[in-house]
Amino acid sequence: MSLLNDVTLAGMHADSDHVLVGPGGVWAIEVKHHAGVVQYIGDAWGYARIGLQGVPRAGQITDSARQAQRAALRLEALLRAHGIHTMVQPLVVFTHPLVELQLQMPSVPVRRALEVAPPARCAPEQLTPQQVTRIVAAICAQHGASV
């Protein structure tokens, strides 16, 4: 399994915080570090938390699902240009240990960081080791991403 970091897709107006490539497939991962309650209802994102001096705060979060979907589509286009026809799955990951996710009908999978590795490792095998190597090489050739 390979993890590519900070993948910017030149000329495609999209980037991905991370791209995970392994036998179970390819994931475009958008990472957020919010504490408190994060709500994702339909296509609306919001948060609520206790701020400095115990003052409650609430607000909107940029559409992380759309960011992950856009990166996944651009990565699929990049791979197709290299003759690789595989689906790239979008994924939003929250890394703060104090995040509480409230999800209703999310359009993309949303996970806490500790919940990511087991599904990625347990996914049914879709790609051979040679395909994984070829996909990583194609992405690195485009961007020079670090593994």
Write the DSSP assignment of 63-117 as a string of letters: -HHHHHHHHHHHHHHHHHHTT----EEEEEEE--TTEEEEEES-SS-EEEGGGTH
Tens digits of residue pLDDT in 47-91: 888 777 778 888 888 888 999 999 999 999 999 999 999 999 999
Domains of the chain (ranges plus CATH)?
Answer: 2-143 (3.40.1350)
Tens digits of residue pLDDT in 114-123: 887 655 666 6
